[in-house]
Amino acid sequence: MAPTLQHTVSPFLEPGPRTKPNSLAVLQLSRDNFVPVYLQEASGEHDGYVEGAVINTRYGSFPHSTLLNVPWGSQVRASKVDTGSRGRKRKRQLDEEAGCETSEPIEDENEKGNSNGADKEHGDGDEAKQLVTDASGFIHVLPPTPEIWTTSLPHRTQVVYTPDASYILHRIRARPGSTLIEAGAGSGSFTHASARAVYNGSPVEGKRQGRVFSFEFHEERYHKMKKELSDHGLDGVVTLTHRDVYAGGFLVGGKSPEADAVFLDLPAPWEALPLLSRQRPQLKEGEVGEAGAKPWVSPLHPKKSVLLCTFSPCIEQVTRTVSALRHLGWVDIEMVEIANRKLHTARDRVGLYLPVDRGVNNSAKDVEEAITKLTEIEERFRENARPKQSADGTEPAKQESKAATNGKTPMNGAALKYPWLDGRLVTRGEPEIKTHTSYLVFAVLPMVWTEEDEAVAMAKYPLGRERFVVSVMGKASMKEERREAMQQKQGNRKSRRKDRDEKLAEVEG
Amino acid sequence: MYSIIRPNTWVAIRLPSGVTRNILVTPNATISLGKYGSFPANFIIERPYHITFEIEDQRPDEKFSRIRIVPASELYAEIFADEESPDCSAPTADAAKSVISAEGGAEFTLVDAESGKLVTRSNGEVIDENARQTLTQDEIEELKREGNNAGKDVIAKLMLSHTALDQKTSFSLAKYKLLKTKKYIRRFQILPVDVPNLAHWQLEERDASKILDLRAEMIALVGSWGNVHYGGDSVYLEDPQATCEQGEEALAPLREDLLKGRWLVVDDTGGLLVAAVAERMGVLFPELDEDKSNLDEQTKRQRQEAEAEAEENQDGDVVMADVQDSAEKPNDGAKPKKPRSSDFEIPFSQTNTITVVHSASQPSLAFLGYWNFDAVAPSHVEHPLCRHLMCLTWLQLLKPELDTAYSTPPLTASTELLASWKPSRRGNFHRKRRRFARTKHIVEATRAGGFSGLVCASTMDPISILKHTLPLLAGGAPVSMYSPTLEPLAALADSFSVSRRTAWTSGTVPEVVVKTVEELERWEGNEQFPLNPTLLLGTSIQTSRARRWQVLPGRTHPLMTERGGTDGYVFTAWRAKPAEGKVAAKGKFKRRKLETGSAAESEAAETPIA
């Protein structure tokens, strides 16, 4: 999209207080209409615009210079930009190129266009300062976040949306300092969310850097994604590799990423799972054991439990994945489906006497209103049915009743004055909902615990010094337990008393 | 965090019945799991999380039960057996004998049309389970008392002595076995106490209303839309080196340029939301050795020795009222001694911080105790939250001059006078001065605004919260508010409705026209406009719900029951910086109109909110 961009820190992670040149910003045109833009400083004419780079929207034209170095969230008015002559100019340029003419006439035309333009302020040197606002509209400039990016990114594949992504990252405990493997980078929606989750600042000696190791099989997607990541300044956090993970595995540069969280968005996760093992995967039938020469390196963190999530749309994929997970020793396997709904609020305006308007339901708002209306109709009907006395008498009567209805309009003054306070506040779901995105399978792979580890731990925390009891049961249940144990040993109070009485009787006897 | 179970940390023990219990793992304790048995805590300290343990039968010469690790293959043995049987769903034991034919009239019988195989047997025949169980309760108790191979023998015997076992469908058989296993098997699993686990435990087993029914998917949404993440490397203000004679004037001035990556939190969930925010910012868990990449072996060993030493020395009095003392008492053998800092040193980082505004005089953050942090009296053990969590009351935020801690000038005393005092009085003197410096810093920094986001889960009216917090947010900062019920959020969203915004910007409201943008940012609110409707962008309400499934060979379906109650809702938006004066937006819709007239019309109506 943009030429070479330089960053210190990604605008996704530390946007700073204001918009910066050569950095990503998101323009909000309307409620759900976001346009990502790489802002550029004005340096002479750009693409035929004297103002430098310009964004044209249906709310008007916005030269980048008006969007630069403003606080994030700013509302920016459109500027008057000469878009018309640029088009003509281009056409002419093409014609001229075809006719092999000199470029001088074009410059002349340019100056002429400027002086004749609607706003005569457009000079040659300091255009940016003399821009004139246009009443065509405005936009807001927002800092990029994974949520906005997910709704505005160029779709290359099915996207993992925020409700799923946020839940997954929460469940696989991707937090600052985590190392995450993502297979199937796709459109990069999840990549951005996970980069934000694991990011833990600039590299410091002794601190484990949060990293995302992302893999993409499709070459074109890989290149696009690579460019995107570097444009977004996420190179330091995300390592993208072009690879078929079913065959190639998850090592990067022959080294283990030491991941403690895994997200698989693959058509066949069970093919990749054996490579995410702590031990060398068992060879499939017919495969030659040539790998025996090289020692097996696990891509997982050796000293941590690894949490995994797979993202599959079909139940058959889930069944196979879960079966593979069980055979590979993963525990706490759980399958979950997320249903997300957006809700819109509105003012429900119902009433017979409300002005006819968009979004107004002109029917009776309650029984009383209906009865009033019906009575009115009945009255009118009876009036009409009455034998006419004279033409003069009837006419004014009719008008009178009409006037009465208008006067009766049961509208309070406040509602008329403030239409936004009128009507009942209601919420309803959006017109179209996503009923199914994908099934999420979660699992945990505990670390390997060997006899030696056990011996070390045993030596450090020897037995035999137990002094007190910590119970998971409440105090009441513990008491109950003790009482039961006592009873079993000695019998209940009645039987004890009986025993004692018998003994006494014996002694006495 | 996830590697091994550290001594003196909270862990969650998951019992076979599916119940989890949180306990503090103390060395040299015996952990009792009630009817499932007990074992010495030293058996699980420094062992990995997530592993399934089984309590073995007590050996005749020992006074305690040993535990063993159950490999995954054993956990899944039954499922594997199911998978291997040719048709997963067909009954395994002599099915043919007791097949009820299809025309037998049992409407519950399902026969696969293609293979003619029976899929489900009628369950009309299966009668009350107890009637068929020949073992009496006493016999079962007897079995439990004698060595029984961790409960497996009991289950096997129960299954064997059930007379109607062959009449059960494969489904009810599996169910019966599961039921008995839950009751008698002596296995458990140890899970780390982190935000998802704690929230789940509080929601399912404790009092859900205490955390406002905040489910995992909602915690995730709130954090995500609040854009909560690591807010930059810690930066500290320089110690002003104030002497005891110096008062307020010696305080380190606030440096607004250093403030960065700060989130404002309003939490009525007892600290769960703060914990979730802290987890996302990387300040919830103390940094551990295994989180560090290149520590050489020697420092590691040194640390371990120091740790062991510290453990021996530590006898009970862990709680110390002040962070200050930690600087003098190095809890880490490898660290060099820091010079004594003055009373006015600000312990808080300027970046990556959480600011909690609370309505009571003390913040209610009890859940942070599960991560060994006490907000009221931070212990001397250096916890990242000590330097990244700041609490202030609404009074301190809005009317600081009425707050005693803020408005009382610090005590001063000459060195000689100080030396003549009793140690306890001297301690008090320093404590008060430190508290003053901290309160002053927190209040000033919060009132300076520029927050990176607002995250909220409160029982208070969201409109009143936003009225006072919106001016504190930086431009473009996200607002993410959770509410267990929809109505408060709907009222909030309505105060940013299109018609309100149109009226506000069109210049028809006389109160608004006379004010400048700065004044409007601190709009007090009136009946028609409780909030300035141009201060938020993209207001939206959403809800999420996770549906859990059972995945078993041939028996995959959503869970039959789940927790009901409220779903919970999140309101999200971004802070806008409105332009000065009247803003018009007519838009250009020529092309659209040609395509679809009605769509363009609706778009035009929406224009003003853009």
Residues of A in contact with B26 (CB under 8 A): 470
Residues of A in contact with B486 (CB under 8 A): 343, 427
d(CA A269, CA A252): 19
Q: Is B221 a member of any domain?
A: no
Scanning B207-226 for CB atoms below 8 A from A yields 216-217, 219-221, 223-225
Q: Strands across the sheet with B29-32, in order?
A: A468-471, B29-32, B38-40
Helix axis angle, B152-160 to B137-145, nearest 10°: 150
Q: Are strands A261-264 and A306-312 parallel, antiparallel or unpaired?
A: parallel
* Residue A207: how many other CB atoms lie within 10 Å: 17
Scanning B187-206 for CB atoms below 8 A from A yields 189, 194-196
Q: Do A335 and B548 touch (CB under 8 A)?
A: yes
**B429 and B281 co-located in one domain:** yes
Residues of B in contact with A472 (CB under 8 A): 13, 15, 21, 23, 31-34
For an interface test with B, the pick among A420, A450, A484 (most B C-beta atoms closer than 10 Å) comes out as A420
Residues of A in contact with B541 (CB under 8 A): 342-345, 427
Which residue on chain B is closest to A480 by alpha carbon? B34
Q: Is B271 a member of any domain?
A: yes
Mean pLDDT over A16-31 rounds to: 90
pLDDT band at B490 (very low <50, low <70, confident <90, very high): very high
Scanning B249-268 for CB atoms below 8 A from A yields 260-261
The DSSP-derived string for A212-231 is EEEEE--HHHHHHHHHHHHH
The DSSP-derived string for B514-535 is TS-HHHHHT----SS-SS-TTS
Closest by CA position to B593, among listed B585, B604, B582: B604
Q: Are B67 and B56 in contact (CB under 8 A)?
A: yes
Q: Strands across the sheet with B52-55, in order?
A: B20-24, B10-14, B187-192, B52-55, B67-69
Q: Are B164 and B127 in contact (CB under 8 A)?
A: yes
Q: Is B163 a member of any domain?
A: yes
The answer for residues whose C-beta is within 8 angstroms of residue B95's C-beta and 6 or more apart is: B118
The answer for residues whose C-beta is within 8 angstroms of residue B120's C-beta and 6 or more apart is: B89, B108, B109, B110, B169, B171
Q: What is the share, in percent, of chain B residues with pLDDT greater than 90?
A: 39
Q: Is the pLDDT of residue B292 over 80?
A: no
Q: Supply the pLDDT for residue B116.
A: 46
**B160 and B88 co-located in one domain:** yes
**What domains can you pick out in chain A, each with its CATH number?**
23-142 (3.10.330.20), 147-281+297-337 (3.40.50.150), 343-429 (no CATH), 475-508 (no CATH)
Last residue of a domain, one of B451, B477, B492: B451
Interface membership of B320 toward A (CB under 8 Å): no
The answer for residues whose C-beta is within 8 angstroms of residue B413's C-beta and 6 or more apart is: B244, B245, B421, B429
Higher-scoring residue by pLDDT: B127, B374 = B374
**B177 and B233 co-located in one domain:** no
Cβ-nearest to A318 among B45, B260, B551: B551
Q: Note every long-range contact of B411-420, with CB atoms under 8 Å and residues 24 or more positions apart, other chains counting.
A: B412/B244, B412/B245, B412/B246, B412/B247, B413/B244, B413/B245, B414/B244, B414/B245, B415/B243, B415/B244, B415/B245, B418/B244
Q: Do A470 and B49 touch (CB under 8 A)?
A: no
Tell me which residue range forms the domain holding B306.
Answer: 228-451
Last residue of a domain, one of B142, B177, B193: B193
Q: Supply the pLDDT for residue B97.
A: 34
Which residue on chain B is closest to A71 by alpha carbon? B475
Question: How many domains are contained in chain B?
Answer: 3
From the number of C-beta atoms within 10 Å of its C-beta (0-12, 13-18, 19+), residue A415 rates as: middle
Q: Supply the pLDDT for residue A130.
A: 66
For an interface test with A, the pick among B303, B332, B549 (most A C-beta atoms closer than 10 Å) comes out as B549
Q: Is the ipTM of this complex over 0.90?
A: no
Q: Do A305 and B607 touch (CB under 8 A)?
A: no
**B323 and B257 co-located in one domain:** yes
d(CA B505, CA B608): 8
d(CA A213, CA B604): 45
The DSSP-derived string for A327-386 is HTT-EEEEEEEEEEEEEEEEEEEE-TTSPP-TTEE-S-SSHHHHHHHHHHHHHHHHHHHS
Residues of A in contact with B32 (CB under 8 A): 469-473, 478
Q: Are A160 and A183 in contact (CB under 8 A)?
A: no
Residue type, B263: W
Q: Supply the pLDDT for residue B242.
A: 84
Q: Tokens 């909690």 — which residue?
A: B356
Q: Are B27 and B19 in contact (CB under 8 A)?
A: no
Distance (Å) of CA B7 to CA A94, B26, B201, B308: 77, 6, 21, 11
pLDDT, one tens digit per residue, over A197-233 is 999 987 777 778 899 999 999 999 999 999 999 999 9
**Residue B509 distance to chain A (closest CA, Å):** 10
Q: Is B517 a member of any domain?
A: no
Q: Supply the pLDDT for residue B155.
A: 74
pLDDT, one tens digit per residue, over B218-227 is 999 999 999 9
For an interface test with B, the pick among A9, A30, A440 (most B C-beta atoms closer than 10 Å) comes out as A30
pLDDT, one tens digit per residue, over B10-33 is 999 998 888 888 899 989 899 988
Q: Supply the pLDDT for residue A416.
A: 59
Q: Supply the pLDDT for residue B332.
A: 44
**B275 and B348 co-located in one domain:** yes
Of the segments B313-322, B467-476, B556-565, which one has the largest average pLDDT value?
B467-476
Q: Do B29 and A466 touch (CB under 8 A)?
A: yes
Scanning B27-46 for CB atoms below 8 A from A yields 27-35, 38, 40-43, 45-46
Mean pLDDT over B408-437 rounds to: 90
Residues of B in contact with A197 (CB under 8 A): 229, 280
Q: Is B547 a member of any domain?
A: no
Q: Supply the pLDDT for residue B338.
A: 60
Residue type, A468: F
Q: Which residues, listed in sequence order, are joined to residue B11 by a DSSP beta bridge?
A: B23, B192
Q: What is the share, in percent, of chain A residues with pLDDT greater than 90?
A: 41
**B40 and B108 co-located in one domain:** yes
d(CA A406, CA A355): 12
The answer for residues whose C-beta is within 8 angstroms of residue B363's C-beta and 6 or more apart is: B267, B271, B356, B375, B376, B391
**B316 and B405 co-located in one domain:** yes
Which residue on chain A is closest to B488 by alpha carbon? A425
Which residue on chain A is closest to B230 by alpha carbon? A200
Task: Spell out the SS3 assignment of B215-271.
Answer: CHHHHHHHHHHCCCCCCCCCCECCCCCCCCCCCHHHCCCCCCCCCEEEEEEEECCCC
Which two structure tokens, joined as six digits, stand for B477? 């900062």
**Residue B21 distance to chain A (closest CA, Å):** 6
**Residue B493 distance to chain A (closest CA, Å):** 7
Task: Spell out the SS3 assignment of B75-133.
Answer: HCHHHHHHHHCCCCCCCCCCCHHHCCCHHHCCCCCEECCCCCCEEECCCCCCCCHHHHE
**Per mean pLDDT, which range of A296-305, A354-363, B424-433 is the poorest?**
A354-363
Q: Is B210 a member of any domain?
A: no
Q: Which residues, listed in sequence order, are joined to residue A251 by a DSSP beta bridge?
A: none
Interface membership of B509 toward A (CB under 8 Å): no
Of the segments A155-164, A401-410, B60-69, B488-497, which one has the largest average pLDDT value?
B488-497
**B354 and B249 co-located in one domain:** yes
Which residue on chain A is closest to B28 by alpha carbon? A466
Q: Is B74 a member of any domain?
A: yes
Q: Do A74 and B579 touch (CB under 8 A)?
A: yes
Q: Are B455 and B521 in contact (CB under 8 A)?
A: no
d(CA A328, CA B143): 35
As a whole number, the mean pLDDT across chain B is 79
Distance (Å) of CA A235 to CA A6, A213, A220: 11, 11, 18
Residues of A in contact with B544 (CB under 8 A): 163, 167, 338-341
Which segments of B314-380 does DSSP mark as H helices, in order?
Answer: 324-328
Higher-scoring residue by pLDDT: B117, A151 = A151
Mean pLDDT over A168-175 rounds to: 95
Region at B425 (left for phi over 0; alpha for psi -120 to 50; beta for the rest): alpha
Cβ-nearest to A343 among B543, B578, B587: B543
Q: Is the pLDDT of residue A116 over 70?
A: no
Residue type, A3: P
Q: Is the pLDDT of residue A481 over 80?
A: no
* Residue B470: how many other CB atoms lie within 10 Å: 22
Higher-scoring residue by pLDDT: B374, A44 = B374
Of the segments A124-133, B213-222, B292-301, which one has the largest average pLDDT value?
B213-222
Q: Are B439 and B405 in contact (CB under 8 A)?
A: yes
Scanning B379-418 for CB atoms below 8 A from A yields none
d(CA B269, CA B156): 45
Q: Supply the pLDDT for residue B305.
A: 52
**B259 and B157 co-located in one domain:** no
Residues of B in contact with A196 (CB under 8 A): 227, 229
**Per mean pLDDT, which range of A39-43, A289-293, B109-113 is the poorest?**
B109-113
Residue type, B37: G
Q: Is the pLDDT of residue B432 over 70?
A: yes
Residues of A in contact with B592 (CB under 8 A): 58
From the number of C-beta atoms within 10 Å of its C-beta (0-12, 13-18, 19+), residue A153 rates as: middle
Q: Is B490 a member of any domain?
A: no
Residues of B in contact with A322 (CB under 8 A): 551
Q: Supply the pLDDT for residue B105.
A: 33
**Residue B235 distance to chain A (closest CA, Å):** 12
Q: Is the pLDDT of residue B185 over 90?
A: no
Which two structure tokens, joined as six digits, stand for B376? 């009221």
**B233 and B338 co-located in one domain:** yes
pLDDT band at A404 (very low <50, low <70, confident <90, very high): very low
| DSSP H or E stretch at residue B482 | strand B478-483
Last residue of a domain, one of B451, B476, B504: B451
**B56 and B148 co-located in one domain:** yes
The percent of chain B in helix, strand and coil, each rounded to the nearest 5, is 40, 15, 45
Q: Is the pLDDT of residue B181 over 90?
A: no
| DSSP H or E stretch at residue B279 | helix B272-281
**B189 and B233 co-located in one domain:** no
Q: Do A337 and B609 touch (CB under 8 A)?
A: no
Q: What is the share, in percent, of chain A residues with pLDDT greater than 70?
A: 78
d(CA B274, CA B263): 10
Q: Supply the pLDDT for residue B397.
A: 95
